[in-house]
Amino acid sequence: DVKVTQSSRYLVKRTGEKVFLECVQDMDHENMFWYRQDPGLGLRLIYFSYDVKMKEKGDIPEGYSVSREKKERFSLILESASTNQTSMYLCASSWDRDYGYTFGSGTRLTVV
C-alpha cells in the first residue's frame, strides 16, 4: 500500500513563527498536493507539484510556500503564521490520474 506520511498530527505555533509541515510518500509518485480543510469550506488546494523542484499555485497560495527538493518529500511552509491559518492540513500524492489520490493522516495546526 502507498503510504503518505505527515510528520506531525498536532502542532501549536505562535503568531509570526515560520512553520514547516512535512509530507513524505513512499511510492515514487510524481504528483504531490497540499490542501487545507475548514468547516463549511471543504478542501481547498494550496499548492501542488508535478515533479522535483516544480510547484504550481492552487486556489489559496497566499501566506504559504512549498519546497520539493526530492521526489518523495513535499514541504509546506508558513512564512509567518497567523491565526487565520489555524486549520487541518492534508497532503496527498498521485502517480497519475488513472490511479486516484492517496492522502496522509493530516496535521491539525493551531496558531495562537
Which residues would be at the binding site for other proteins (CB under 8 A)? 4, 6, 33, 42-43, 45, 48, 58, 88, 90, 92, 96-106, 108
Our CB check for other proteins shows the closer of 63 and 106 to be: 106
- Cβ of residue 74: shortest distance to other proteins, in angstroms? 15
Q: Which three cell numbers stand for residue 24?
A: 513524505
CA-based R_g, the chain, Å: 13
Q: Which is nearer to other proteins, 56 or 79 (CB)?
A: 56
Rounded Cα distance, 112 and 92, in Å: 26
* Nearest partner of 88 among 46, 40, 36, judged by Cα: 36
The nearest distance, CB 91 to other proteins, in angstroms, is 8
DSSP 14-72: -TT--EEE-EEESS--SEEEEEEEETTTEEEEEEEESSTT--EE-S--TTEEEEEEETT
Is the CB of 82 or the CB of 105 nearer to other proteins? 105
State the minimum distance, in angstroms, from the CB of residue 39 to other proteins: 10
Looking at beta carbons only, is 20 or 99 nearer to other proteins? Answer: 99
Residue 97 C-beta: closest distance to other proteins, Å = 4
